[in-house]
A and B are shown apart, each in its own frame.
Chain A
Amino acid sequence: MKLVAIVGSNNQVSYNRLLIEFIAKHYPKFHLEKLEVRELPLFNEDIAGVTPAVVEKWTKKINKSDGIIIACPEYNHSVTAALKNAIEWMSYQVHPLKQKPIMILGASTYPQGSSRAQLHLRQILNSPGVDANVFQGQEFLLGQAKTAFDQSNEISDPKTVSFLDDCLQAFAVFVKKVKRGNKGGK
């Protein structure tokens, strides 16, 4: 299985990136490849007629993958502009997210752990221009992110690690199902 992970924060130090790196380290079977939203220029209809090379690169990587994990931070009860920006690029000239299995998770320094941003992201990914196949049900929220990681960037609470594992295993099953379904359809 080959998954792509999108880090939804453009911060130099990001808990959402740590979360993705944690998954990459402990789940080698996902062959997780990290994409950083900070690589992308700000979307503007004036220039969007020509798809930038970096968006082409994302498109290729996403097309080659079986599914996507998005680490979604929360700013002002919604997704970050930096992440929304990435989605706009992928809903205009190119549509690599179309019917792609996507899992949403997120870390936040506030106690609720990006719950509202995740809800907005679900609605955005379900809009017709994006039309992703969002994995429903499991919601992984890492609140109080400042204390959630230990010195070696491991998640310190075993219950959290085990819940994350449940979510990821369920997503892996979903990705396989979609893949099989796609093959069967051909």
Chain B
Amino acid sequence: MKLAAIVGTNASHSYNRQLLQYMQRHFADLAQIEVLEINQLPLFQKSLPRDQQSAVWSFKQAIKTADGVIFSSPEYDHSIPAALKSAIEWLSYHCELLDNKPTMIVGASYGPQGSARAQEHLRQILASPDLNAAVLSGNEFLLGNVATVFNEQGELTDKAAVAELEKYFTNFVSFTKLLNQRSPQAALMAIKQPLISEAFVQFPTGKLSLQQIQQIFSTMPFEVDFIDATDHFSWFSDKAERVHVRSVNSLGETVQECHPPLAVPAVEKIISSFKSGEKNLVERCLTLQGHKILIRYYAIRDVNGHYLGTMEFTGNVDHLYELFKNGSFAADVTTGASKKAADSTDSTDAATGASQLDTAASAQPTTSTAPAAPDTTTGASQHQE
């Protein structure tokens, strides 16, 4: 179970952060808790330009992919801090990120009341229709007098408070499991099967069952994403170890929503060039964590050329590159001067050939088909390794 734990303050020293870090360690066997900071987020403003929303986008992604959310809120002036309220406003505006999301509230404060009033406000805020979070009721964890309850290792020394927190957190884990079970999308992903496994699709070139189609997509060495004709992310191939990790929670989002804000202009440009018919293919090469990644965007059209959507075809081409360097492609079989593949990979002749081909390749950059290729530093999608 993956939980996102939001530090409810932008201050660099925070007891609420300490509390969440303690929970992260203490409950490591029960859940994987990611501690999320809000100090990078701009103050919520409806018309903030998208290129200033990169931090907001990353924050939203982290919430989206979590099974549940924990808020640890300080109390400022008998309510939650403005910085936390602002983060919540971002989560509510034009998105339903917290809708029915299992949520737990904890809080630490300097005084004895332990942020009780702030927690009360937070509960009311999270119940508002634009948020509609599934907040675990009861199980109120208020940690007062925080300056005295953590030791130097950041361990909570108050035994009664630890016991209480363990009880409430265990309740929250059960609550989260229960709620997430009900999600049909989660169930669908769990069985890794299309819905009607008995159905067949009759292509002009043969017949495949839905199950076969699913497994072909999962097995082929490239991953595929599809954006439909109305610019919504509508499908991705369910392949293990993807370069771009996708989540079913993102399905149905517009391209503007599912890409990092800085990448959106480049993606929009590609799609509009496909829609206008100006282009059918845009290619990008990039190196990610030492791997060579090839991304090709294709315009998908019906037989009359009518635009149906954009396919993003992404793969790690390290292996192809190695084969190429080893000279596996050195000889042209049609000339009859070919060697067997097994010979060529370890022959010194082939190695010489490879270096020549290297020169040839660098004279013809593979990106030449893509004058409009987006800057690789912006990335057309998030790289979540």
Partners in one complex: yes
Binds A, one of B84-92, B139-147, B157-165, B299-307: B84-92
Cβ-defined contact, B86 with A42, below 8 A: yes
Quote the shortest CB–CB distance from A44 to chain B (angstroms).
Answer: 5
- With contacts A76-B92, A81-B82 taken as known, whether A44 is within 8 angstroms of B39 at the C-beta atoms is yes
Cβ-defined contact, A76 with B88, below 8 A: yes
CA distance A126 to B78 in the complex (A): 8
Quick one: CB contact mask for A134-160 with B, threshold 8 Å, 1 for yes?
000000000000000000000000000
Residues of B within 8 A of A79 (CB): 79, 85
Q: Which of A81-133 contact B (CB under 8 A)?
A: 81-82, 84-85, 87-88, 91, 116, 120, 123-124, 126-127, 129-130
Cβ-defined contact, A91 with B79, below 8 A: no
Binds A, one of B125-133, B210-218, B322-330: B125-133
Residues of B within 8 A of A116 (CB): 124
CA distance A119 to B223 in the complex (A): 52
B interface secondary structure, majority: loop
Q: Residue B45 contacts which of A43, A82, A88 (CB distance < 8 angstroms)? A: A82
Q: Which of A70-85 contact B (CB under 8 A)?
A: 75-82, 84-85
Cβ-defined contact, B85 with A130, below 8 A: no
CB-nearest residue of chain A relative to B124? A77
CA distance A116 to B45 in the complex (A): 20
Cβ-defined contact, A77 with B77, below 8 A: no
Interface centre among B13, B77, B130 (most CB of A within 10 A): B77
Cβ-defined contact, B81 with A43, below 8 A: yes
CA distance A76 to B129 in the complex (A): 7
Cβ-defined contact, B79 with A43, below 8 A: no
- With contacts A11-B45, A116-B124, A129-B77 taken as known, whether A76 is within 8 angstroms of B11 at the C-beta atoms is no
Quote the shortest CB–CB distance from A185 to chain B (angstroms).
Answer: 26
Cβ-defined contact, B89 with A87, below 8 A: no
Cβ-defined contact, B47 with A11, below 8 A: yes
Cβ-defined contact, A81 with B86, below 8 A: yes
Cβ-defined contact, B130 with A88, below 8 A: no
A12 located at the interface, meaning its Cβ lies under 8 Å from any Cβ of chain B in the complex: yes
CA distance A116 to B88 in the complex (A): 17
Q: Residue B78 contacts which of A76, A81, A127 (CB distance < 8 angstroms)? A: A127
CB-nearest residue of chain A relative to B117? A123
CB-nearest residue of chain B relative to A131? B77
Quote the shortest CB–CB distance from B98 to chain A (angstroms).
Answer: 10
Q: Residue B10 contacts which of A42, A75, A84, A130 (CB distance < 8 angstroms)? A: A42
CA distance A43 to B82 in the complex (A): 7
Q: Residue A85 contacts which of B9, B12, B82 (CB distance < 8 angstroms)? A: B82
CA distance A37 to B9 in the complex (A): 20
CA distance A76 to B123 in the complex (A): 11
Q: Which of B1-46 contact A (CB under 8 A)?
A: 9-13, 39, 42-46
B373 located at the interface, meaning its Cβ lies under 8 Å from any Cβ of chain A in the complex: no
Q: How many A-B residue pairs have CB under 8 A?
A: 105
Cβ-defined contact, A77 with B128, below 8 A: yes
Quick one: CB contact mask for B200-225 with A, threshold 8 Å, 1 for yes?
00000000000000000000000000
Q: Residue B12 contacts which of A38, A46, A77 (CB distance < 8 angstroms)? A: A46
Quote the shortest CB–CB distance from B370 to chain A (angstroms).
Answer: 38
Q: Residue A12 contacts which of B9, B47, B85 (CB distance < 8 angstroms)? A: B47
Cβ-defined contact, B39 with A88, below 8 A: no
B229 located at the interface, meaning its Cβ lies under 8 Å from any Cβ of chain A in the complex: no
CA distance A126 to B126 in the complex (A): 23
Quote the shortest CB–CB distance from B9 to chain A (angstroms).
Answer: 8
Residues of A within 8 A of B321 (CB): none
CA distance A76 to B47 in the complex (A): 18
Residues of B within 8 A of A85 (CB): 43, 82-83, 86
- With contacts A44-B10, A77-B127, A87-B77 taken as known, whether A120 is within 8 angstroms of B121 at the C-beta atoms is yes
CA distance A43 to B124 in the complex (A): 23
Q: Residue A43 contacts which of B13, B83, B121, B128 (CB distance < 8 angstroms)? A: B83
- With contacts A76-B125, A76-B131, A123-B79 taken as known, whether A11 is within 8 angstroms of B85 at the C-beta atoms is no
Cβ-defined contact, B79 with A78, below 8 A: yes
A65 located at the interface, meaning its Cβ lies under 8 Å from any Cβ of chain B in the complex: no
- With contacts A76-B128, A82-B43 taken as known, whether A91 is within 8 angstroms of B11 at the C-beta atoms is no
Cβ-defined contact, A76 with B10, below 8 A: no
CA distance A76 to B10 in the complex (A): 20
Residues of A within 8 A of B76 (CB): 84, 88, 91
CB-nearest residue of chain B relative to A86? B82
Q: Which of B85-105 contact A (CB under 8 A)?
A: 85-86, 88-89, 92
| 5 A-B pairs closest in CB distance | A81-B86, A85-B82, A127-B78, A77-B128, A81-B85
Q: Could you name 5 residue pairs across A and B whose Cβ atoms are closer than 8 Å? A: A77-B128, A79-B85, A88-B82, A116-B124, A127-B77
Report which B residues bind A (CB closer than 8 A): 9-13, 39, 42-47, 76-83, 85-86, 88-89, 92, 117, 121, 124-128, 130-131
Report which A residues bind B (CB closer than 8 A): 10-12, 38, 42-46, 75-82, 84-85, 87-88, 91, 116, 120, 123-124, 126-127, 129-130
19 extra interchain contacts, Cβ-Cβ under 8 A, other than A84-B85, A85-B86?
Answer: A11-B46, A11-B47, A42-B86, A44-B39, A44-B83, A45-B9, A46-B10, A76-B88, A76-B89, A76-B131, A77-B128, A78-B121, A82-B44, A85-B83, A87-B82, A120-B79, A124-B79, A127-B117, A129-B77
